[in-house]
Each structure stands twice: as C-alpha cells, then as structure tokens.
Structure 1
Amino acid sequence: MKWSNKGHQYDELGNGFKNKKIIIYGAAATGQEFYEEIKFLNAVEAFVDRNKSVQESGCKGLPVISVSELAKRKDDVIVVITVLGYNGMMVHSQLMHLGFELGRNCFYYDTFVNYYLSIYALYACGITYFPSISFLLTTACNLNCKGCLNFTKQNKNRRHYELEDLKKNADAFFKHVDYVGKFHMSGGEPFYYPHYEELLEYIGSKYGMQVRDFYTATNGTVVPRESLVQALKKYDVFVEVDDYRETLPGKIMKNDEIIDILCKNGIRHSDRGAGYWINLDPENQDNSNLSEDDLGIWYDTCNNPFASIHNGKLYSCNYDDYAKEARLVAESALDYLDLTKDEVDKKVLLEFRQGFTDRGYTNFCKRCAGHEMTNQKHIPVAEQY
C-alpha cells in the first residue's frame, strides 16, 4: 500500500479504539487462546458466554457476562468473536441486531489478530506490537534447494552473521517494538549458526518479556548440539522440523534423531511436511514492465505477512531483504525503516509493518512471483540443484 497520509493512515479507526476495553465472545478453547495471545495488553474486561455455569464460575480470572449485559456496553467496548464456523456467523448476526458494527466495534477473531490487533495495541494501549518478525542468523546451509526462499543458490556470499552485529540488531528492534508475537530465528540453516545459544541467551534474558513465542526452523539434517538444546529448552523455543525425507536420501535426514532429542527435553516442536513449495522464481519472473500503480497492486495482492530486521533495518517484506542479501536486487532506502535512529514515529512504524511504503511496493516486486495468495508456481519440496 502506498502512503497517502503518512503517520495518520489509521487515525480514524484507531481513535475509535481509544478508551475501549475488549470483550471476548466465547469462553471456550479459542476464546481462552485468544486471551493468552493478548493478555500483555491488559485490555480484556470480560468474556461473553451463554452457558450459565460458565457465567457463574468466570474464565481466566475474569467475569463472564450474558448477551443482555453486553448489549448495554456497545458504545464503550469492542467485541472479538471467537466462536467459529456457522455459530460464529450467528453470533455476528446477533451483535449486528444489538447495534454493533463489523470492523468498528465488532471483529472476527482471525481478522482481529492478523490485522486490527497492532492498530488497537498502539491507539488504545500505547503499545507497539508486531505479530511476527524474521531474524536472520545465517545464510549458510548444507542444502542447495531449488526455490529456496532465502535464495541459497543465488547468494555467492553465504555466511554466519557476527554475534555482536546480531545483538545490535536485536537492540535496535526492541528499542522501538514493545512486544512481538512470534520472534522467528531463521536461516540458512539456523542449527549451523555457531553462536546460536549465546545469541538466544542474550535476547531471551534481555527481551524475553517482550516476546510471546520464540520460533526457529531446521531442515532436519543437523542434530543440535547439547548446549543449544538446553538454550532452546530454557527459552521455550518452538522448533519447526522440516521433513524432506520423500525428496532427499534417508541417510541425510536426521528427523527421528532430532525429534527424539526435542521430546526428551520437553521442547515444543512440529514435524513439518509440505506437498509443494511456492517458487518466487526471481531468475525468470519479470514484472519490470508493470506501471507504478500495477506494481502497487501486485504488492498488495501478494500480501506477504512476513517482515524482517537486518542490520538495524526493518524490511516490510522479508524476501526483499533476502534478495538484497543475495544481490538479486539493489537496496533502496524506500524499502526499509532505519531502527538504529533514536526516534522513530510509532504510527509510521505501525503503518510500515502493516504494509504501507512511500511508493507502495519493493524493488524485489519487479522480480518476484508473489507469496501464497498469488503464486501458482509450485515446485517439489527440497528438490536439489
């Protein structure tokens, strides 16, 4: 999206959030999960549930009110519907009859979390919140996958980043961002990074209270050393173990050994398989003939949800960052915000993370086939060059 009123894009919506607490409609599992996601805001006032026994017992230490009680509060709260499927649609219809308006003071859970939460956090609570950030440790990897989203083949200068530089990178990020949902330490192959445990100790001990979940991913070929295992355990890092066993020779893959270690140490993890990969295809995709407006539409339609922080610079698209590292595109000051500065306007930071930029697209848009929403170029998982 191209800025039309930089620093004030969300003022009308955000000002409507001011002085309004959140009421969660639904005290079942999804509602409780949502509460855990946003409790850092200290903004949830109550739950709504029709179950009288739940109303009597409360939920998460908060009152559970009836729909009739909620009807009296429509002008001073916002409601997030966590009831799923058809029942959620019925709740929405009921709230409309009570005078609530979708997108103003009534929201579906997934839409609120993925889009509105950052806006609410800043305008209602004064908190700069990012749903996620990609934090690159290394571009080194022992595989050479076609379609690698980190552009391993094209990157002729694969390397581990200096520990002190990564510490400064984290300092710059947390100086301006109060809370992040998912702090994703990525690569390359992260388990290759020789200073991983020292870096995790630094970030976890200094900024752990500003992170809901630490995440990392591994390609399933590198067994983590014991010191790294203990660091992952200490900071409750969720490990996504990619499963490439259908593509790569069995002797290369260490999934069973890695997962056994994670299980024995109580480390949360997933064994992540995939039917296919998307191919950003920078070697063949050519969008350079698109107009400025059409490139903006391409960027908006792509809607890549991942941002990255690198050398103190926040990139609205992590793939633009990776492409710059691989020398696929030239770096442009229009594609990042410099977080090494002492002062960064919080509203500008929010808007940039939400996808606003000065020109409405990045340099890499001219060579990218797009993220999952637009990309039809599918390739086999982890197929090697």
Structure 2
Amino acid sequence: MIRQDCAPGQGDGAHSSGPVLSVPTNVGGASFRVRGLAVETSARPARAPTLLVVSDSPEPFHVVVTALEPVADGVLGLVLEHPSGAALPGWEPGAHVDLHLPDGLVRQYSLCGDVADTARWRVGVLREPASRGGSAWLHEQLRVGEKLLVSAPRNNFPLVDAAGYVFVAGGIGVTPLLPMIAAVHAAGRPWTLAYGGRSRASMAFVDVLAHHGDRVRLTAHDTDGLIDLDTLLGTPREGVAVYCCGPEPLLDAVESRCAAWPAGALHVERFAPKTGALDGARASFEVELAGSGVTVTVGADESIADAVEAAGIDVVSSCREGTCGTCETTVLDGTPDHRDSYLTEDEQAAGDVMMICCSRSCGPRLVLDL
C-alpha cells in the first residue's frame, strides 16, 4: 500500500540517492529533509525526551495510543506517543509505519502529522468494508491507553525537489500528501491539491487544509462528480512534480493524463495491485534459502512466502499482493518474475530484490537471502 511508483529513472527512497539537504534545528523549531529541498518549520512545544529511540533500528517498539479522533465518516485518526515520553524516530514527508496488530496482522499507515513534532505520530485509518481484520479491529477494539507495536518509519514515497507541485488525492489517499503540502508550502513553492471523495463528509482532514484557500480544490463525487483531470493535468509542465495517492481508477486516470509529461514527473502510491500485475503463468520451482540452508519447492498454487512459512521459517509480510513492500527479499541468484506493484521498472530490471508474497521465478531455481 505504501509506495512511490514513477516513470523510468526514478527510484524509491530506499534505493535512490538523490540529493538531500538538511537545516540545523533552532531552539523552539525543528528541521526536516526532503530530496533537494530544505525546510525549517516551527513546532509547538513538546515535553523533553527522556530517551532517544534509534530511527533506523530494524526492531519494532511499543507506542501508546493517546487519542482516537474521528476525522471523517469511516476514518479514525490515531495519535501515538512513546510510553516513556521519549522522542519518536524522525521521518520525512511520504513516510509510513507498520502497525503490528493482534493475530499477527501487520498494516501500513502513512504518517500524516507534523514532521517537526517528535513527541507524537498521527495516522488516519479508513474502515475498509471488506476488512480482513486490520481496520475493523482498530475502529472497533482499540482504546486510548493501549499499546501498539510499530516499526520505525520507512519512506518509499519521498518528496522530490521540484519547481512546483500538483497533488491529487482520492479518499484516504490524502494522508501521505498532507506533510508534503506542509513542506512545499513552508518552502514557498507553488502547489495545488485536487482532493476527491465519495462525499464531503467522507473526506478526512479537510479542516487541516481549509486555510490554504483556493490552492485546494475539493470534489465530492455525490454532488460534484469526478475531479477534472483534463484541466488539471492536460498541459504538461516542465519542472512540476505530480503526486497522486488513492484508489486504482484514479491512479489509472492520472497515469493516462501524465503519459505526455516529462519522465519522472509522476509519483504515485497504490493501495491495490496494478491491473493484471498478478496474472501470468504459474509453474513450480525451487528456492534455496541461503541463510538457513533449506531448499523449498514452490508449487504452482502457492507463493514463495507460503512455501517458506510451511518449511518453518518466519516471513514478515502484510498485503500478500505486492503493494506494501514488507516482504522485500534480496535475490542472490536466479531471475525473478516480478508481479508486484511496488518496485519501479528499473528496480525490477535490476533483479536484486523481489516481493516473495506474489512474485515468482523465471527459471527453475532462485537463491534468496533468507
């Protein structure tokens, strides 16, 4: 669900090395980094941290839920803080965290609060009608004061430096865009947001956006129809970055309108696989797990993750359809048959990592770093 998917030549936050500038933190303020864009922003006073949580630690840690806030019909806002009052790991616009829920569920949610606020994180959770247990549990069972296990922030949807920005949000897809808007607004860059939802009542965080005036265009589908993408994106603009997050029909429409834009202009984040991404022939093959010395056979009707788990080896995964990146695994030998919607075209062509929840092998054998 958490991903930058852009034109060839644009990598993601974990694999690319675009320029990053930093600004020293002043007393009473904080700084954060964007690729090529430095912004200093004031933060409201926060209690002094008593412990530093290492932001790049691979180990999950506990946070406590300090507030539950309905922010729209079917959308719950969570405020998370460290139980000891410590400063939480730093993050950049576009980042997300994994929430480890009961029964082993792991779900990804975009951080949508103030980047400079090290005392608390905010996420927005849409109640999914076909929930497999994640959003339903958070909406129905979670209470203030409970602890949740979380990962340190990861960013696969980073904000790049540009002369201007066009943001397009559909429903809960507005959440990763909110910190981006705050960053580019503070930097004085021109931007607009086209934000669509089923109804005005279903559109989260409109109060946060209200003070931006006509930079923000709200489109409630039940009264206004669909976002006018032809007007918004019909004319390619050099140096302008387009960021889109939302349901698949919106992403498809935006990708179609941006086909004539300069390479690398469009950045999208998906909630579901690309149409047809999971299709294709399915044959059995072997996978050697280099770290454990085990070789497993992956049947035609199972995933690599399924076969590895059946062999008694733990695999961390979440979406099981190649959109979240949780199960990314290093390929030591062999050629992956990529069926994910997470890696860029360049990353898939490199063949050094794969999503084992959905991707397969082009040959009879793969060697993985497991």
TM-score by length of 2: 0.26
Structure number with greater Rg is 1
